[in-house]
Chains A and B, each alone.
Chain A
Amino acid sequence: MNPIDWIVLGSTLALIVSYGIIKTRHVKTSESFLRGDGNMRWWLIGISIMATQASAITFLSTPGQAYADGMSFVQFYFGLPLAMIILCIFVLPLYYRLKVYTAYEFLENRFDLKTRTLTSILFLIQRGLAAGITIYAPSIILSTILGWNLNLTNVIIGFLVILYTVAGGTIAVSQTQKQQMIVIMTGMFLAFFYCISLLPENTGFGDAMFLAGETGKLNVIDFNFDLSNRYNVWSGLIGGTFLFLSYFGTDQSQVQRYLSGRSLTESRMGLMFNGLFKIPMQFFILLVGVMVFVFFQFNDAPLHYNPANTSLVMESNYAEEFRALEDEYQLVHEEKRALMESYTALRQSEGPGEGTRQLGDQIREKMSLENEYRDQARDLINRANPSLDTKDTDYVFITFVLNYLPVGLIGLLLAVIFSAAMSSTASELNALATTSIVDIYKRFFGGDKTDGHYLSASKYFTILWGLIALAFATFASLFENLIQAVNIIGSLFYGAILGVFVVAFFMKHIKGKHVFPAALIAEALVITIYLLDVYDVIELSFLWLNLIGCVLVMIASQILYYILRK
């Protein structure tokens, strides 16, 4: 990497971290550390919520996803504005009235201590593991592609986050997220426009979009109701609403962001801000991916984007086969490039018609041939080492950044990835420390302790969770399927946790003795349904598990209410 890129990367990160520390020198009480000074403006809350949700993997994986499967992923977010409205109406006023630090604190007030403790422990396990993955996921990609030491990359991200999160708590998290979002959006916009400028002379943005449309990448809206299809309007609107209700309403890493607002109005406006900008932002990131896809149609595209996998297969007995496959792939790629150039020229001169339709068919034929070669390449890698992860779409965007962006912009885009990783991790550590202190330490081991004691304890818990996340990030490399496992754990628990909250808000006759066993029953059923899907007895997208878990808690609570009443 060029020294200028190092300077851009280093100075951006140093500025953000120093800003976070300097801006929060005044934090001297546990209230200030855990909930902020109650001074946050709505736009800062909105930015903070968006920065917490968007991790590094959002900016690495999402463009790669658009490259491979098109833009259908944007539909996943269609339920988000509805979730924001429901939270503003029913949840926020209650949290404000009870002046809670955590979402789980409310559950003791409404039900009992065991329900509060169960949900807070579920959160600590789930979020503690996820924090490790938030650090590990970008580190593994950066270390693979840049040859950096994986553990060192983990430690750098983890150390920087711990530094300012321990110094300033929740205020430091929000203040730095403002800078991080500026860096992220600037970097992504520059990458997008630079990508357009790299297209052939006679191919503009519109031409690129027509090519993307012809190759099936602009599948933004799908109205077909299909339970096994993860991304369509209905799964996004129904499943997505439930997922985002549980994420934004019950996950402390998000609840903490809007509870630091100056007033209920400011917090509501913060959520509205998120509801307004989230879908366009995701659309834009996917559009960057589509643009990178078009770019690679006119430039040399590797057969497989993960260089570590390619080197490994080249050192194995399958090297010859892989090389032959690469040659065939390049041949098809060249033919397709020529077809695309003819398509663009014909479209520009004569407009759409029979000629462009025929060329479109030929392009799609070549594309499916290319995909076959890419599948065969993955198969060879798998045969060379069955334990390797052969999914290479996460490497597409970073390959483009490192090989085609100019000096300086590469450093900025790496700062984007680091910033995104740090902004999510900081919120997570902050929330983990707050839940540990408020729902466990203070609740069970509290007593006559000073505020200074709780402030120090909050800082120690932040360090502890930072170290746990780092340890988990280090071990993650030893178990290939760990990331998948963590994602599954998340989707398995969210529904039941949301169900407990929905019962708390809308089923006033239900008590703790009903909802606690109901949550356990619902959880067991959700796991059973998931296992039926794993063993192909049924086919169900994981998004629906959130809805099913939530509804099951409500039904089981009601049934238990009738049984126990008699």
Chain B
Amino acid sequence: MNELKTDHLAKEEDPPIFGNWTNVYIWLIIVNLVCVILFYLFMIYYT
């Protein structure tokens, strides 16, 4: 069990709904960053 390379597995898979997996991860981070920015603006606006 020393061989733990897993990259090839992703290639065997169906592509995800939104482009490749790296794009999905980047989008997830962007959407969450937008959420945090919106929370920040929300906090600033109402305080």
Cβ of A148 < 8 Å from any Cβ of B? no
Cβ of A276 < 8 Å from any Cβ of B? yes
A276 to B31, CA, bound (A): 8
- Taken residue by residue from 6 to 47, chain B's Cβ proximity to chain A (1 for < 8 Å, 0 otherwise) reads as 100110011111000100110011011001100110110011
Residues of B within 8 A of A268 (CB): 16, 21, 24
B4:A505 contact, CB within 8 angstroms:
yes
Most buried by A among B16, B17, B28: B28
B21:A279 contact, CB within 8 angstroms:
no
Residue of A nearest to B33 (CB): A81
A94:B43 contact, CB within 8 angstroms:
no
Contact of B40 among A97, A220, A275, A283 (CB under 8 A): A220
* Shortest Cβ gap from A43 to chain B (Å): 11
Residues of A within 8 A of B1 (CB): 109-110
Residues of A within 8 A of B17 (CB): 269
Residues of B within 8 A of A264 (CB): 9-10, 13
Known contacts A81-B32, A213-B47, A218-B46; is-contact A272 B24 (Cβ 8 Å)? yes
Known contacts A213-B43, A220-B42; is-contact A85 B6 (Cβ 8 Å)? no
Residue of B nearest to A273 (CB): B28
Contact of A276 among B4, B6, B28, B43 (CB under 8 A): B28
Residues of B within 8 A of A110 (CB): 1
A269 to B21, CA, bound (A): 10
A279 to B1, CA, bound (A): 36
A299 to B42, CA, bound (A): 26
Cβ of A301 < 8 Å from any Cβ of B? no
Q: Tell me the chain A residues, 29-88 only, with Cβ under 8 Å from chain B.
A: 74, 78, 81-82, 84-85, 88
A106 to B16, CA, bound (A): 26
How many B residues are at the interface, by size bracket?
20 to 34
Residues of B within 8 A of A263 (CB): 13-14
Cβ of A488 < 8 Å from any Cβ of B? no
A275:B28 contact, CB within 8 angstroms:
yes
Residue of B nearest to A219 (CB): B43
* Shortest Cβ gap from A245 to chain B (Å): 15
- Taken residue by residue from 429 to 453, chain A's Cβ proximity to chain B (1 for < 8 Å, 0 otherwise) reads as 0000000000000000000000000
B39:A283 contact, CB within 8 angstroms:
yes
Residues of B within 8 A of A90 (CB): 6
Cβ of A189 < 8 Å from any Cβ of B? no
Cβ of A221 < 8 Å from any Cβ of B? yes
Contact of A279 among B2, B25, B32 (CB under 8 A): B32
A220:B10 contact, CB within 8 angstroms:
no
A505 to B2, CA, bound (A): 9
Known contacts A85-B29, A221-B36, A275-B28; is-contact A97 B46 (Cβ 8 Å)? no
A210 to B35, CA, bound (A): 20
B46:A210 contact, CB within 8 angstroms:
yes
* Shortest Cβ gap from B9 to chain A (Å): 4
Residues of B within 8 A of A109 (CB): 1
Residues of B within 8 A of A279 (CB): 32, 35
Known contacts A221-B40, A508-B2; is-contact A93 B9 (Cβ 8 Å)? yes
* Other 16 A-B pairs with CB < 8 A, given A78-B36, A88-B21, A265-B15: A81-B28, A81-B29, A81-B32, A89-B21, A96-B9, A212-B46, A218-B43, A218-B47, A221-B39, A265-B14, A268-B16, A268-B21, A272-B28, A279-B35, A280-B35, A508-B4
12 of the cross-chain contacts (CB-CB < 8 Å) are A81-B28, A94-B6, A109-B1, A209-B46, A212-B46, A218-B46, A220-B43, A221-B39, A264-B9, A264-B10, A265-B14, A280-B35
Interface residues of A (CB under 8 A from B): 74, 78, 81-82, 84-85, 88-90, 93-94, 96-97, 109-110, 209-210, 212-214, 218-221, 263-265, 268-269, 272, 275-276, 279-280, 283, 505, 508
